[in-house]
Structure 1
Amino acid sequence: MLIDKVRKYSDKEKYDFNCSERMLFAASDEYGLNVSEDAMKAMASFGGGMGIESICGAATGAISVIGIIFTKDRAHATPKVRELTIEFMNKFQDKLRTHNCDELKKEYKDEVKGCGHMLDTAAIILDEIIIREKGE
């Protein structure tokens, strides 16, 4: 399950990923995505709510996975990606009441687990969508 991989990458001393990187690394591992090093690096700028505590990095990391798995060539050729992204973001907000990094940190960030609650929530929702869509 994706949540197990997300938790695997929580070791700050070993990995030291931001939430967005962690989600993509975990998903690449779980789903065998073989995501390029450049794609992994691209996620660096989405941590901390894109540096301004806007949209949660766990969420942006998760929707990047939707794009990687379901996009055929480009976004406009794959309207399903937009639908799945909206579904993910709505479910994430329904579970946590917001997708704003600053608000989520105030509500859920833990001294020991950091943003683990947001990452776990994102992993559960993303896994459900991917399993359903792939018919597994």
Structure 2
Amino acid sequence: MNQNSSKGFLIALSTIRAWLVIVAAVWLLGAIGLGWLVKSFFALIGIILLAPVAIFVGVRWWIQRNLVQGQCPVCASPLAGLNKTQMRCPNCNEPIKVEHKHFSRLTPPGTIDVQAVEVGARTLEE
């Protein structure tokens, strides 16, 4: 008699027995009116599977809406920051304010910020 074939049969029988117990438990819960428990379990599994996808899509949409890319108004180096925040330029260390998808220099109250325009020198002849 071959000992290996009876071992394979026992392993297959234990696998079938495990599936039969699961099916019988689900059928019993449905038969005695605890189907809501099974439905709740499957709903929980569905939420667990769909939540990461929804979170990924939501975070991506939020970042796309609030990420501002541009240049520093002081040194013109490239910057990236979140809308409605304050930051410092990594190049010139100047405080920068991000508002309305635009970078502007953050000045203390009472400071008048002007932009200088370079004018070429001309000599006047008399």
Q: Which TM bucket (shorter chain)?
A: under 0.3
TM-score by length of 1: 0.20
Higher RCO (CA 8 Å, separation ≥ 6 residues)? 1
TM-score by length of 2: 0.21
Larger Rg: 2
Which has the larger share of helix? 1
